[in-house]
Amino acid sequence: MLKRVSRRVFLGGALGGLASLSWAGAPDVSLRPRARPGGFTESSVPSVEELIRESRLSGVVTFSVIDVKSGDVLETHDGYTGQPPASVTKAVTALYALDALGPDYRFETRLLAGGEVKDGVLHGDLVLAGGGDPMLDTDQLADMAARLKAAGVREVRGKFRVWGGALPFERVIDPSQPEEVGYNPAISGLNLNYNRVHFEWKLSGGKYTVTMDARSGKYRPDVTVARMQVAARDVPVYTYADMGDHDAWTVARGALGNGGARWLPVRKPEAYAAEVFATFARSHGIKLEMGQPPERAPEGRVLVTHKSETLDEILRLMLLYSNNLTAELCGMTATARRLGKPASMKDSAEEMSRWAQTTLGMPGAKLVDHSGLGETSRLRSAALAQALAKVHKDGLLKPILKDIPMYGSNGQVNVAHPVKVVAKTGTLYFVSSLAGYLTAPDGRELAFAIFTANPELRKGFDKGSGARPEGARTWNARSKDLQQRLLERWGRVYGS
């Protein structure tokens, strides 16, 4: 069970009471390790410079590692150079959301009555109002429809309306990404199934049958808000068009094979949720006629409320699976709590950047989103490592970071490795990052941030094509290997 800490304690204790730690005067180059017990000395442990050279990793390598108890900077390498953090951004987003909302916060999705319910008839509109829940799925909408019937509603005389205005609408998270990638969906205050639709195809008798559905654990209702046609071509694999009332996709016949399935992004999340809910309401005998969305936050009697998991659990899953939509929704909800509804995702990210600079003490923080998908975000490894050390005492972030496996000399995961690491990874093509906490063999705890990137190689490929650029796999493998060797070094030198 995660430790519950109030927002007041989080701010007053973790962030405000550490000014005396030795954050100032961090070295600009890596420090030579002192001799340690057990024979780990400069001669037996490779230097930072040796590790970087042996990695054959092109581009820029920056990192910092700090003792969380004393605040001492143990090593840093170009720690004041801003680098693209990729999904390591989500660790900052988690802290931002916990600060503004608290670990026990729950998102709410509601069904509101716009009139009186009498003898099973709602004389007025029925409104499905989103509250920014990133985890809402088809099973939960089905449950809400069943609970609507259980509340005594058998008929709706008014219109069925949906409201996603609790948060700003964004068509995509990052416009430079390929249109068809499921990790770059639309954003709204009302979201379903991570705003993805399941596309499946089967070849039979020389013809393809395709389905587009909103599947989750128990149900898989077909939808028409996203439609697919098979086109007689080889490339491009996918095309997309906004047809107003639906997303229109085509897929190249030459790319399909005998059958398969994948998730596609939804660009009309409110209509998607509305169609799915109406399907389940109809299964309970409640027919709904669609109306226009409300112009402002709806009011009325609450008939049904669905509450999400607690925020700390949502953030744990976000950090584990690195879900971009969850990060954006949690970040924008935090901004809305602090300042009111942000005008856009970018504005919300700018506010989080200011918060990181002032509250976490992260100079140079420049974030364009809450997920790390945008390549123009910048963080400094020294600043992030210091921030992680600062918040270590509150006990909120470390328990929700994922375990990072350590490897043995045979290249296999070593579950008995004496160095234990929990962290957030971040990956874009020619960008690889890792930040979190290392527990050394003697129990000493370190906070660290490692950023690697090759901006020149990133400039040299078509980001919208969807194809993996040449050399990206090898580059990423070299970066991951360097990260492992740095972690191994720190555990041996500073925790033996």
CATH number at residue 158: 3.50.80.20
This prediction's pTM:
0.91
Cα separation, 18 vs 32, in Å, equals 26
Structure tokens at 175: 């416009």
Domain's final residue, options 308, 342, 372: 308
**Domain membership flag for residue 1:** no
- The alpha carbon of 54 is separated from its chain's Cα centroid by a whole number of angstroms, namely 33
- Residue 113 sits in the same domain as residue 233: yes
Q: Is pLDDT larger for residue 287 or for residue 33?
A: 287
Residue 45, by phi and psi: left (phi above 0), alpha (psi -120 to 50) or beta? beta
Asked whether 17 and 477 are in contact (CB, 8 A), the reply is no
Q: Which residues make Cβ contacts (< 8 Å) with residue 451, sequence separation at least 6?
A: 60, 61, 62, 63, 83, 84, 85, 88, 379, 381, 433
**Model pLDDT for residues 162-209, shown as the tens digit of each residue:** 999 999 999 999 999 999 999 999 999 999 999 999 999 999 999 999
Asked whether 331 and 367 are in contact (CB, 8 A), the reply is no
Mean pLDDT of the chain: 92
Q: Quick one: pLDDT band at residue 316, thresholds 50, 70, 90? A: very high
Of 25-34, 139-148, 181-190, 449-458, minimum mean pLDDT range:
25-34
Structure tokens at 359: 């509250």
* C-beta pairs of 400-403 under 8 Å, 24+ apart in sequence: 400/2, 400/94, 400/312, 400/315, 400/316, 400/319, 401/91, 401/319, 401/436, 401/437, 402/319, 402/320
Domain's final residue, options 246, 273, 308: 308
- Confidence check: pLDDT of 157 > 70: yes
Q: Quick one: pLDDT band at residue 16, thresholds 50, 70, 90? A: very low
Residue with tokens 């901006």: 455
Per-residue model confidence (pLDDT) at position 466: 76
Domain's final residue, options 280, 308, 336: 308
Cα separation, 13 vs 392, in Å, equals 11
Q: What is the CA angle 22-24-30, rounded to 5?
A: 95
Per-residue model confidence (pLDDT) at position 393: 94
Per-residue model confidence (pLDDT) at position 462: 76
**Domain membership flag for residue 85:** yes
Percent of the chain with pLDDT over 90: 88
Which candidate, 394, 454, 447, places its Cα nearest to that of 103?
394
**Domain membership flag for residue 372:** yes
**Domain membership flag for residue 202:** yes
- Residue 368 sits in the same domain as residue 245: no
What 3-state DSSP class applies to 473?
helix
- Residue 274 sits in the same domain as residue 376: no
Cα separation, 31 vs 399, in Å, equals 30
- Residue 93 sits in the same domain as residue 134: no
Which sign does the torsion angle of CA 362, 368, 369, 373 carry? negative
**Domain membership flag for residue 119:** yes
- DSSP 8-state class, residue 18: -
Q: How many domains does the chain have?
A: 2
Q: Quick one: pLDDT band at residue 236, thresholds 50, 70, 90? A: very high
Q: Quick one: pLDDT band at residue 36, thresholds 50, 70, 90? A: very low
Task: Give the dihedral of Cα atoms 100, 101, 103, 105; nearest 10 deg.
Answer: 180
- Residue 250 sits in the same domain as residue 237: yes
- Residue 98 sits in the same domain as residue 111: no
- Residue 185 sits in the same domain as residue 300: yes
What 3-state DSSP class applies to 83?
strand
Per-residue model confidence (pLDDT) at position 18: 34
Q: What is the CA angle 489-90-95, rounded to 5?
A: 95
Structure tokens at 265: 């992004």
- Confidence check: pLDDT of 1 > 70: no
- Residue 157 sits in the same domain as residue 299: yes
Asked whether 413 and 484 are in contact (CB, 8 A), the reply is no
- Residue 160 sits in the same domain as residue 38: no
Per-residue model confidence (pLDDT) at position 6: 40
- Residue 17 sits in the same domain as residue 112: no
- Residue 296 sits in the same domain as residue 356: no
Which candidate, 276, 275, 199, places its Cα nearest to that of 238?
199
- Helices 138-150 and 269-283 meet at what angle, rounded to 10? 50
- Residue 396 sits in the same domain as residue 248: no
**Domain membership flag for residue 2:** no
**Model pLDDT for residues 317-357, shown as the tens digit of each residue:** 999 999 999 999 999 999 999 999 999 999 999 999 999 99
Q: Quick one: pLDDT band at residue 40, thresholds 50, 70, 90? A: very low
**Domain membership flag for residue 340:** yes
Structural domain boundaries enclosing 374: 7-103+311-494
Q: What is the CATH number of the domain that holds 474?
A: 3.40.710.10
Which candidate, 452, 404, 460, places its Cα nearest to that of 427?
452
**Model pLDDT for residues 377-426, shown as the tens digit of each residue:** 999 999 999 999 999 999 999 999 999 999 998 989 999 999 999 999 99
**Domain membership flag for residue 292:** yes
Q: Quick one: pLDDT band at residue 465, thresholds 50, 70, 90? A: confident
